[in-house]
Chain A
Amino acid sequence: MSDYPSSYRFTRDHEWIAVEGAKGKIGITSYAQSELGDVVYVELPKVGDAVTAGASFGTVESVKAVSEIFSPVTGTVTEINAHLNNAPETLNQDPHGEGWLIKVSLNDPAEVEKLLSAEDYQTFISSQQH
């Protein structure tokens, strides 16, 4: 069972964000990758693209399904994890670390306060389990 870092914040759509000042790093959670199964392709935005809290910014394709990824915050893309193009399996292996998706500069760092804590997220996913 993967750990959910206590410094991260989470969404009910199963994304995480690690914030430092006005910058954030975004990925999908360990729960999300295990539900998706083997990831085969990741479609990311371009550097400079705007992302909006709650809106889709890319897709993750697994052997089971193509799923949209929703941004936890509003901001601008500053970096993408290009490594995922050649090694999409990184998302399965290390979802909270090397498998990060994009880095953004936040329009409003206070937005993060509305997101779930690691503890709340784990309570949320245990209520989702079947």
Chain B
Amino acid sequence: MSTTPRAARHIVQNEELLFEISEPGKAAYQLPELDVPPANVAALGERARSDIAGFPELSEIEIIRHFTRLSTWNYGVDTGLYPLGSCTMKYNPRVNEFVARLDAIAGAHPLQPEELSQGALRIMDLLSQYLLEICGMDAITLQPAAGAQGELTGILLIRAALQARGNARRLVLIPDSAHGTNPATAAIAGYEIAKLSSNAQGTVDMASLDRLMTDQVAALMLTNPNTLGIFEEDIHRIADLVHQRGGFLYMDGANMNALVGRARPGDFGVDVMHLNLHKTFSTPHGGGGPGSGPVAVKAELEPFLPTPVLTRRPNGALTLEEDRPHSIGRMRAFAGSFGMLVRALAYIMANGSDGLKQTTEDAVLNANYIRTRLKDVYALSYDTPTMHECVFSDKLQARKADVHTGDIAKRLIDYGFHPYTVSFPLIAPGAMMIEPTESASKRELDEFIAALRAIAQEVDTEPETVKTAPHTTRVSRMDEVAAARKPRLRWTED
């Protein structure tokens, strides 16, 4: 253990575990003297609990300082650029938090009487209307917990609609560029997965689709723009083909940040889609969640929406309707992640339609700025124009000095940035996937670009520096292989 004084240590150095700073006899509480007869613990026999051996013993301020110091190590959207491709790590505006914390909203209880819940229901109703307008769809559920549960809801809706037509079908078609949640969703919903290969442009290959789209295919699950950031220009033809053969077009809305205010999935043939409020609509993403994954549908799927469904009584009052005989049932307790619905509504209303459109344009502009300024030093995985994110490959660096996407990402930490997404999508070998979002200023983008250019230079001059990065962090490079092969999941004294 280090002998450096604590005062100097907490700024730059590592933090011991609570177990390591524990001292016997310390406690963060003091109980009053017992004023009732003591319980007869012996009478419990073997059901009596024993003390937890080895539990850390600390004072209150030591615990507070430990966790407060750890909290300052966080890297989040509030501390710097977070270019994690496919995750849309955008700024979470403070106005969202202000609204979500208003007493009447934060203090509402899901079981309070309907007449006292009209405000909360109105928030849900208004958000539903805005999201439907943005997506060009007919009906919506705000219930799903996040993107993956939204996908599951969507595929269960498709299954129910097909069953109502007489045959649920057997297969779901998924492009090889898709998020891994897509095949997982289809499998959990009881479908087999058929993989759709991408063409040389990184988009859906129409000939393969034509061959695979049989009368056994329930749905095509498509992300648009796809995970390479490329807009599927054939989307109308894709939708027509799927519809002609009796299938549904599901759109994974993970990349909706490239479309809001500019193009509506409902207009280009999508039947069911989910939104990630924690991506596109600025609610916290990651540890700050929870997520929220509303699912919007075309009219044919409306009868199957999860219960309860938000409707109006004859007197105009909003109500949550449970009597829905064709519903797939409830997907989540109460009204879903209600606090996130509030934040998403605040974001939409604070931006307005012109602001949302500007947001989309800025997100696409920022990604293309990075792409243009880096494509002479990093190889592009695909030449096809991209939208809100760009995907480079480590091909040049791997060939020159055996430096890979993970090495470059770790070196980026030394330059003060959160890494981009590594090794995804799977169809782009050595992928470096960058999504700056609209939140980045030009100055930040220039700093990020300069860092990646400097690293490209280092690959030529001192590749070992890159291969052994990070160097400036409290903990240097982990032996990921050893950690996976022989994981130590619990602290032990030795």
Contacts and interface: CB of A to CB of B under 8 A. Distances in A.
- The answer to whether A and B come from one shared complex is yes
Interface of A: 38, 40-41, 61, 63-65, 88-89, 130
Interface in B70-93: none
Nearest to B393: A130
Contacts of A61: 484
Nearest to B485: A40
B481 A63 contact: yes
B423 A38 contact: no
B484 A130 contact: no
Contact of B481 (A40, A65, A130): A40
B152 to A, nearest CB: 20
Given A64-B423, A130-B395, A40 B484 contact: yes
A99 B267 CA distance: 53
Contacts of B480: 38, 63
- Which interface class (under 10, 10 to 19, 20 to 34, 35 or more) fits B? under 10
Contacts of B426: 65
B481 A38 contact: yes
A116 B392 CA distance: 34
B395 A63 contact: no
B246 interface: no
Interface in B479-493: 480-481, 484-485
B429 interface: yes
Contacts of B481: 38, 40, 63
A88 B481 CA distance: 11
Residue from A63, A65, A89 having most chain B Cβ neighbours under 10 A: A63
Interface in B420-438: 423, 426, 429
Given A38-B480, A41-B484, A63-B481, 5 more contacts: A38-B484, A40-B481, A63-B480, A65-B426, A130-B395
In the complex, the 10 A-B pairs of residues with the closest C-beta atoms, listed nearest first: A40-B484, A38-B481, A40-B485, A130-B429, A63-B480, A63-B481, A63-B484, A64-B423, A88-B485, A40-B481
A2 B481 CA distance: 22
Contacts of A40: 481, 484-485
A48 B426 CA distance: 34
Contacts of A41: 484-485
Interface in B340-376: none
A64 B395 CA distance: 17
16 contacts: A38-B480, A38-B481, A38-B484, A40-B481, A40-B485, A41-B484, A61-B484, A63-B480, A63-B481, A63-B484, A64-B423, A65-B426, A88-B485, A89-B485, A130-B395, A130-B429
A64 B423 CA distance: 8
Nearest to A40: B484
Interface in B445-494: 480-481, 484-485
Interface in B382-434: 395, 423, 426, 429
A63 B478 CA distance: 12
A61 B484 CA distance: 10
Nearest to B486: A40
A65 B426 CA distance: 10
Nearest to B430: A130
Contacts of A64: 423
Nearest to B484: A40
A129 to B, nearest CB: 9
Residue from B395, B429, B481 having most chain A Cβ neighbours under 10 A: B481
Contacts of A89: 485
B174 to A, nearest CB: 15
A4 to B, nearest CB: 21
Nearest to B422: A64
A75 to B, nearest CB: 23
A89 B423 CA distance: 21
Contacts of B429: 130
Contacts of A130: 395, 429
A38 B423 CA distance: 15
Nearest to B487: A40
A40 B423 CA distance: 18
Residue from B429, B480, B484 having most chain A Cβ neighbours under 10 A: B484
A69 B395 CA distance: 27
A64 B485 CA distance: 13
A130 B395 CA distance: 9
Contacts of B423: 64
A68 to B, nearest CB: 11
A61 B481 CA distance: 11
Nearest to B404: A37
Nearest to B481: A38
B231 to A, nearest CB: 24
A94 B480 CA distance: 21
B228 to A, nearest CB: 15
A73 to B, nearest CB: 22
A102 B480 CA distance: 27
Contacts of A38: 480-481, 484
A59 to B, nearest CB: 14
A90 to B, nearest CB: 12
A37 to B, nearest CB: 8
Residue from A38, A40, A64, A89 having most chain B Cβ neighbours under 10 A: A40
A61 B480 CA distance: 13
Nearest to B381: A130
A66 B239 CA distance: 32
A20 B426 CA distance: 37
Nearest to B395: A130
A11 to B, nearest CB: 16
A38 B480 CA distance: 9
